[in-house]
Amino acid sequence: MTTPPFAPVTPADIRVVSSQLGREARGVVGIAARCVCGNPTVVSTTPRLADGTPFPTFYYLTHPAATAEMSRLEAAQVMVGMNERLQADAELREAYRRAHEAYLADRAQFGDVPEIDGVSAGGMPTRVKCLHAVLGHALAAGPGVNPFGDEALALSAWSPERCECDEPGAARTDGSEDDA
């Protein structure tokens, strides 16, 4: 099962992602997950940026509330327990290895970059080192693909089912604006 292809990225998507990141978005080839309001939550990025830089993080979490929550969970050391379970549980290791393979297969549809061959993101398949990356993958691929992304979402106070795009006047991808 592979997730791409995605609908074409619009100029409005790029404006929103750039605003979310606080810098110009680079190499975006798709919006892999959206907020319920339509704003991007996860972007898919080409495996080689326009300047030639290899970029292994195909699924990039951009939503500010989601990224803040993953940072909070990382600071709370939840990855320690995840890594302990990963080492102790053969079935979990196999599920995480499959997530790694699915990630690589999705990215491969957008080009082969020898410098990052076999490298996915978030520490897959041998450790959990970035909850932002595993959640981005889980949101893009859907439940049941990345066990640690699913777990990070379950532990999170953030939810993809409610809008937290709380910047007044923030451009929405549907053309409307939030005036709250």
The residue extents of the domains of the chain are: 11-155
Q: Are 136 and 149 in contact (CB under 8 A)?
A: yes
Is pTM beyond 0.95? Reply is: no
Backbone angles phi, psi at 167, to 5 degrees: -80, 115
pLDDT in tens, 80-103: 999 999 999 999 999 999 999 999
CB-based contact 55:49 (threshold 8 Å): yes
Cross-strand pairs, 34: 40
pLDDT digits (tens, 9 = 90+) for 20-45: 999 999 999 999 999 999 999 999 99
Q: Residue type at 162? A: R
